[in-house]
Structure 1
Amino acid sequence: MATDSKGAPSSNEENDEAFLHNCLYFTTNRLSRAITRMADEAFATTGLTPAYGYLIRLVIGKPGSTQKELSEKLYIAPSTLTRFIDKLENKGLVKRKVQGKTVLVYPTERGMELEQAVRQASRRLHDAYEAILGVEASDKLTYALESSSEKLEK
């Protein structure tokens, strides 16, 4: 390890690591891991992962949603959504109906029973990160990430 005359790390070593803290890729992945841990905790009581919880919430909110609509709303590939729906269908939480070339997704009665638990999990997650970040910072960060994502996707 290179040091200066006072034993502190040399500027080269600092620069070798500084890029991590100024890199959107690194910092968003770090944030993603942290928020995913929190979301997993919040959704543990539902028996669903957060992604499945948000999917079932969308289907309950708009029964008969198309797979295309759902994949666009969740920002996931259609093939990923198909796997998610397969899993929820195997658990008896959603059902698919084919209309021509379109696949519509509906909640089952069992799926509808999860609505309150999923809403509560969403609220727990929101409250947890808001308690850490504060209301204003939480809102600003969410807005900044949403608008940045839209710009980067173009």
Structure 2
Amino acid sequence: MTNEINNATKPSSEEDGAFLHSCMYFTTNRLSRAITRLADDAFAVTGLAPAYGYLVRLVIANPGITQKELSEKLYITPSTLTRFIDKLEGKQLVERHVQGKTVLVYPTEKGTAMKETLREASKRLKAAYVAKLGKELADMLTSMQESSSELLEN
């Protein structure tokens, strides 16, 4: 009888949410929120959200890159990329040039001037997560996420 009472008052894994800790969807989103906080802190000095910072870095490294290439490299939809570029054009960091049906994206002088600041923000981000996870785990986790993403997307 005592076991029945203890079992009746003990929450099940459904009630206490234990199942969430073995769910890739939940744990990936939790990790995403944690790394986003670190990234936001690291990129705060740039005045840009991390996604915008990485976009500008790609454009600086590849002047005249197509919107299609950017969309593919950043794993975002073309419509999302268009909104990003609109915002960055408004900040005068990039500019678009249309050649036929192709849209090419170039850094502006102001955008190019941010190159080192953006690289340093990326380095701060990596240093922050390496400090918390250790280099080996950080590298392994990054590699596993990359390969897992590839498998799930195909």
Assess same fold via TM > 0.5.
yes
C-alpha RMSD over aligned residues: 1.7
Output the TM-score relative to the length of structure 1.
0.93
Q: Give the letter for the 1:124 counterpart.
A: R
Shift of 1:14: 2.6
CA distance in 1, matches of 2:142, 2:9: 36
In structure 2, the residue corresponding to 1:149 is in which secondary structure?
A: helix
1:141 aligns with: 141
Aligned to 2:130: 130
1:56-104 CA distance string (max 9 Å, x none): 0000000000000000000000000000000000111001000110000
Hey, what's the Cα distance between the residues in 2 that align with 1:101 and 1:68? 11
Does 1:13 find its partner at 2:26?
no
Equivalences for residues 1-154 of structure 1 within 5 A? 5=5, 10=10, 13-16=12-15, 17-154=17-154
Query: Is the alpha carbon distance of 1:46 and 1:106 closer, same or farther for their aligned partners in structure 2, counting shifts above 3 Å?
Result: same
- Which secondary structure state, in structure 2, belongs to the residue aligned with residue 103 of structure 1? strand
Q: For 2:106, give the aligned amino acid.
A: Y
Runs of 5+ unmatched residues, structure 2? none
Q: Which secondary structure state, in structure 1, belongs to the residue aligned with residue 12 of structure 2?
A: helix
Distance 1:149 1:131 in 2: 24
Return the TM-score normalized by structure 2: 0.93
Structure 1 segments of 4+ aligned residues over 2 angstroms from their partners: 3-10
Q: State the alpha-carbon separation in 2 of the partners of residues 136 and 4 from structure 1.
A: 46
Unaligned runs of 5+ in 1: none
Aligned length, in residue pairs: 151
Query: In 2, distance between residues paired with 1:20 and 1:147?
Result: 23
